[in-house]
Amino acid sequence: MDTLKANLELFEKMVLIRTFEETVQSLFQKGAIVGTTHLYSGQEAVATGFASALQPQDLVAATYRGHGHALATGVTPQSLMDEMLGRLTGVCGGRSGSMNVIDLEHRLIGCFGIIGGSIGAATGAAIALARRNGVAIAYFGDGAINQAYFYECLNFAAVRKLPVIFVCENNLYGEYTPWEDVTAGQIRARAEALEVKSETIDGNDVWAVQKAALASFDYARNGNGPVFIEALTYRFVGHSRSDPGKYRKPGELDAWKLRDPLIIARKRLVDEFSFSPQEVDAAEAGVKKRMEEVREQSLKAPSPGLKKLGSEFMELKRTGGGGA
């Protein structure tokens, strides 16, 4: 694919993720989506940049803030939106909710509600991938690095030279707590102590992320062992469904909004990649129109059928299976 087109596609992918999240938010507020949601708005460049370096044999593990990772990896917007609405046509048949999406067809081995679950899954997958020229990528937050298994997995991957890319998305908060209140020293120091190749990058510039991603995949795929990336970014919305974000420092959100990944990408497309503002606008409008169609189709999609779910539940109770 020519580079100019590929650059525009990075922007389109980020618009897709942002618009998807705005749609989820509005459907949630209307009561059409139940449970909870953790939106990725503001962090789009991280998943988009890393996904642009994936090869077909690679595998991805993400978090409960995983809609963006899923879309970037290749899960279709329709199947994901259907899933959000609990429909039969959803990527997991309407049973995963927002937090636990999995799509093996599109390399997504899971989105994990347990903090750091992605780290264990990707490290395990890398044992197999090492024999298939593949790389596993684990996305997780700044809060996950204080979980014990982060150290176990990083150490194991380093000792066994496993092809894992550990991507810590430092969005400054774990729920409502600033990362530095619960974390001693610098985040990257953990990787440095284990002599794991590491880098801190601007997680809001999709081309900076892509550059780091290409180098990381190359390094890991060639048998050199894991890579640890700290991507500096910020979420523009609350931690989850009803968080008004009162813990943010004054002016912090506004300052980060000036560094919105979509604004940065738009500027670079025009200034460096010779797109006209009208071409960028048209690309954005095209994605938004597509998402509107997705939303309409999802609202008409069939529900799994409560009767069937009910009888399965009774069967599990009868046989004592399923932990119901």
Ligand X SMILES: Cc1ncc(C[n+]2csc(CCOP(=O)(O)OP(=O)(O)O)c2C)c(N)n1
The residue ranges that bind ligand X (CB under 6 A) are 65, 113-115, 141-144, 171, 173-175, 239
Q: Alpha carbon of 241 to those of 96, 110, 172, 244: distances in Å? A: 17, 21, 18, 9
Instruction: Confirm if 188 and 251 have CB atoms less than 8 A apart.
Output: no
CB-nearer residue toward Mg ion: 13 or 65: 65
What are the DSSP calls for 103-160, one per residue? BGGGTEEEEESSTTHHHHHHHHHHHHHTTTT--EEEEEEGGGGGSHHHHHHHHHHHHT
Q: What minimum distance in Å lies between the beta carbon of 100 and ligand X?
A: 12
Please give the sequence-ordered ranges of beta strands (E in DSSP) within the chain, or none if there are none. 59-63, 108-112, 136-141, 164-170, 173-174, 177-178, 197-202, 227-232
Decide whether 175 or 292 has the Cβ nearer to Mg ion: 175
- The residue nearest ligand X at its CB is 141
In degrees and rounded to multiples of 5, residue 60 shows phi and psi of: -130, 135
Which amino acid appears at position 196 of this protein?
V
In whole angstroms, how close is the CB of 171 to Mg ion at the nearest point?
4
CB 141 to ligand X: min, Å: 2
Q: Which of 64, 34, 31, 46 is nearest to 210 (CA)?
A: 46
Strand order of the β-sheet with 227-232 is: 108-112, 59-63, 136-141, 164-170, 227-232, 197-202
Residue 117 or 134: the one with the smaller Cβ distance to ligand X is 117
Q: Which two tokens stand for residue 100?
A: 């636990």
Q: At its nearest, how many Å lie between Mg ion and the CB of residue 173? A: 5
Q: Report the residue number, 175 or 192, with the smaller CB distance to ligand X.
A: 175
Q: How far is the CB of 141 from Mg ion (least distance, A)?
A: 4
78/233 with CB nearer Mg ion: 233
Choose from Mg ion, ligand X, none: what does 115 bind? Cβ within 5-8 Å by kind.
Answer: ligand X
Which of Mg ion, ligand X, none has residue 144 at its interface (CB below 5 to 8 Å by kind)? ligand X
Output 150 or 156, the one with its CB closest to ligand X: 150
Residues 6+ apart with CB under 8 A from 84: 24, 27, 33, 37, 67, 90, 97, 98, 298
Q: Interface with Mg ion by CB under 5 A: which range of 12-20, 170-178, 187-195, 316-324?
A: 170-178
Q: Which listed residue (19, 48, 52, 171) binds Mg ion by CB under 5 A? A: 171
Residue among 33 and 115 whose Cβ is closer to ligand X: 115
Q: Which positions from 92 through 131 interact with Mg ion, judged by CB under 5 A?
A: none
Given a contact cutoff of 8 angstroms between Cβ atoms, the answer to whether 99 and 84 are in contact is no
Subset of residues 133 to 162 that bind Mg ion, contact rule: CB under 5 A: 141-142
> Which of the stretches 35-43, 76-84, 174-182, 216-224 binds Mg ion when contact is defined by CB under 5 A?
174-182
Binding status of residue 66 toward Mg ion by CB under 5 A: no
Q: Determine contact, residues 199/229, Cβ cutoff 8 Å.
A: yes
Q: Are 91 and 57 in contact (CB under 8 A)?
A: no
Contact 50, 44 (CB under 8 A): no
Q: How far is the CB of 61 from ligand X (least distance, A)?
A: 14
Residue whose CB is less far from ligand X, 65 or 221: 65
65 contact, one of ligand X, Mg ion, none, CB 5-8 Å limit per kind: ligand X
Report, in Å, the least distance between residue 139 CB and ligand X.
9
User: What torsion do the CA atoms of 263, 265, 270, 272 make, to the nearest 10 degrees?
Assistant: 130
Instruction: Write out the residues near Mg ion by the rule CB under 5 A.
Output: 141-142, 171, 174
